[in-house]
Structure 1
């Protein structure tokens, strides 16, 4: 094992006064323990002011889990020196392989953070063979540090969406910088209060409500009210996918209402909702027959509105120029959903 000392000192990037004192290997426990020490008379820098040459006052033993060496868990152990600074007194010196207060080396934490970018913390903990609570502490440290350092002075366009974080009515709302394609703020809830929370967060990180010119949201009345109260100068754009989803639901609702009197509309749901370009020849003939029948005039009108709306949303031009009067026609399609949601919210779009 002693032959490995120079090699491990190199890969651990140890510098004077640190050196490897001992290496032990336990095959039954599947682990390697590396004991570090500092040479007698070695000095360190003050952790507060950086003054070098501070003498060691005393030391305490400390252990850190390192990245595995092949299939073996690796642990570092060292006497952690407390140094006597002329200006600040006695404080624990920093070590180059770990941050203060952590039970892991910096390389282990970096590997853990790379895993949780792509999987739940519980899954990463299983791979690392660690308690998930310990991995959560790593994540909280680096996420909180990154959030604290954010500069939001450049944010002008924001996307907002809510999602359930677990079963039941437990929601979080996420705010995304649409220009730089990254999340900037996440908070619990989905009411208008989340806009007030974002405003406070923005102001605390170099931004201002006046600089935000655009919000992209779903048709949440709470989001609309919150934006109007806290970002009065911002324009609101509705997510076109959600608008299409709402219109499709309204179209299907009209079809189900009309099929009570016209049984020929049964089992035709996907013919109405599918993109016309993706219909088979037989399905197109069926759709043409259904839309041409006076008995299906309500659902035919709703289908016409839905098709026109979809075409407008796919265009690069403003929807208002392409579909004048569309908001009124939506309200005339005999669907309570389209009347109450699409038309009313459309007037604000």
Structure 2
């Protein structure tokens, strides 16, 4: 019947079958329920040695029939059955021939694994496991294999500008360091921890994959002492920029410390506590209603109001077009922070002065960690949806999958 012949052609195409492989038959087992498809190999066909490609003689079959999970058919789980042939090669000896639809040592067909990777890119592994009717560990193994293969094969010879950032792995103080190709906006390395060794390990991988540390022209990161020293040592020709978002974060943290201290000293603590989020909004983004409320709070709590105006000057600093325009603004900001009679701001001023050259580099290359912040948001979203990762390896694979722009070798089913 034509329907049966069309079903056979469909199966052969989905399994990438050609001579000497063919579909022997298929059965529906209502008690499971599941579909079972049986694959055969033409007995007289000549098969090349899988190791050297030379002429061989047939040497029977593997002892037991092997079973692989395939993509669902009509919403029923589908399984592929086959006893693969062996060959006797004059040079290589007895060799087991792999089927065209399998990855070595995997119990899933290539089409299934391609579909699984597509699903995992857009949903948590736990949900993907339910959708595909298999366990999370299995999917994590599939994810790790294809991501590691793509990462290992990717060359890094054209990397000139990088961004370095850390992101939390698990609750507590577990972090991973993410290195991003700033030009392509893609993750190119993930290392456990957030110390100097993470930068050193990346520099080694860069060299191994055809890159040159001396050709890295620009690096952006936070002002972590570990990152600063490692970047200076490993990328000697790079212009290192302290990311403006981390500079703003540092000053905002000082503002919040001033607010908390003044709140404790005030008899009306609740008013400042309820309005604390207003002090985190840039002045230019305030609505008229928010502006009036903020002015009232600033009069009632003058120290916090003074700290907020200092933050506003930092925004003016980063709004400058050139380093020449920005330099006097920085000098004025530093002077004000030192004379503010706010210990928190005075300490932060010392930190900014220490890193002034790296902060000012922003006006030469306009390089920021905005790329990192966007990617970090994707990473944390995936982590929350999956309710955390148990291993660094699984977490790193997920980061590469959602933000690495990898060329995965696995077949796409569509």
**Same fold at TM > 0.5:** yes
Q: How does 1:16-35 map to 2 (within 5 A)?
A: 16-35=19-38
Partners of 2:61 and 2:112 in 1: how far apart? 24
* TM-score of the two chains, using structure 1 as the length reference: 0.88
Change (3 A) 1:28 1:149: same
Deviation readout 1:259-287 (Å, 9 max, x if unpaired): 56665784243343323344344543454
Residue 308 (structure 2) aligns with: 303
Residue 272 (structure 1) aligns with: 279
Change (3 A) 1:164 1:281: closer
Change (3 A) 1:264 1:271: farther
Question: CA shift at 1:186, angstroms?
Answer: 0.6
Change (3 A) 1:274 1:57: same
What RMSD in Å do the two structures reach over aligned CA positions? 2.7
Question: CA shift at 1:80, angstroms?
Answer: 1.1
Question: CA shift at 1:342, angstroms?
Answer: 5.6
Deviation readout 1:298-349 (Å, 9 max, x if unpaired): 4444222211212333455448446231344334444444444563155322
Specify the SS of the correspondent of 2:129. helix
Change (3 A) 1:237 1:37: same
Residue 199 (structure 1) aligns with: 203
Q: Are 1:165 and 2:169 an aligned pair?
A: yes
Specify the SS of the correspondent of 2:84. strand
Residue 396 (structure 2) aligns with: none
Partners of 2:74 and 2:234 in 1: how far apart? 55
* TM-score of the two chains, using structure 2 as the length reference: 0.75
Partners of 2:342 and 2:74 in 1: how far apart? 64
Question: CA shift at 1:183, angstroms?
Answer: 0.7
Unaligned runs of 5+ in 2: 359-414
Question: CA shift at 1:256, angstroms?
Answer: 3.7
Unaligned runs of 5+ in 1: none
Partners of 1:93 and 1:260 in 2: how far apart? 75
Residue 223 (structure 1) aligns with: 227
Partners of 2:334 and 2:59 in 1: how far apart? 77
Partners of 1:7 and 1:282 in 2: how far apart? 65
Residue 344 (structure 1) aligns with: 351
Q: Are 1:58 and 2:43 an aligned pair?
A: no
Change (3 A) 1:130 1:216: same
Contact 1:253–1:335, Cα closer than 8 Å, also in 2: no
Question: CA shift at 1:248, angstroms?
Answer: 1.9
Question: CA shift at 1:28, angstroms?
Answer: 2.1
Q: Are 1:324 and 2:330 an aligned pair?
A: yes
Change (3 A) 1:104 1:289: closer
Change (3 A) 1:29 1:333: farther
Contact 1:327–1:347, Cα closer than 8 Å, also in 2: no
Partners of 2:288 and 2:189 in 1: how far apart? 49
Deviation readout 1:18-59 (Å, 9 max, x if unpaired): 1111211112212111111111211212212223x5332121
Contact 2:317–2:330, Cα closer than 8 Å, also in 1: no
The structure that is helix-richer by fraction is 2
Number of positions where the alignment pairs a residue of Structure 1 with one of Structure 2: 346
Deviation readout 1:204-249 (Å, 9 max, x if unpaired): 1111221112222123222122222322332222232232222222
Partners of 1:289 and 1:124 in 2: how far apart? 52
Partners of 2:267 and 2:296 in 1: how far apart? 14
Largest Rg, 1 or 2: 1
Partners of 2:289 and 2:141 in 1: how far apart? 59
Partners of 2:211 and 2:53 in 1: how far apart? 33
Contact 1:328–1:343, Cα closer than 8 Å, also in 2: no
Question: CA shift at 1:134, angstroms?
Answer: 1.6
Residue 142 (structure 2) aligns with: 138
The structure that is strand-richer by fraction is 1
Deviates more, 1:279-288 or 1:103-112: 279-288
Deviation readout 1:119-168 (Å, 9 max, x if unpaired): 33232222111122221221121111111112111111111111221122
Residue 248 (structure 2) aligns with: 244
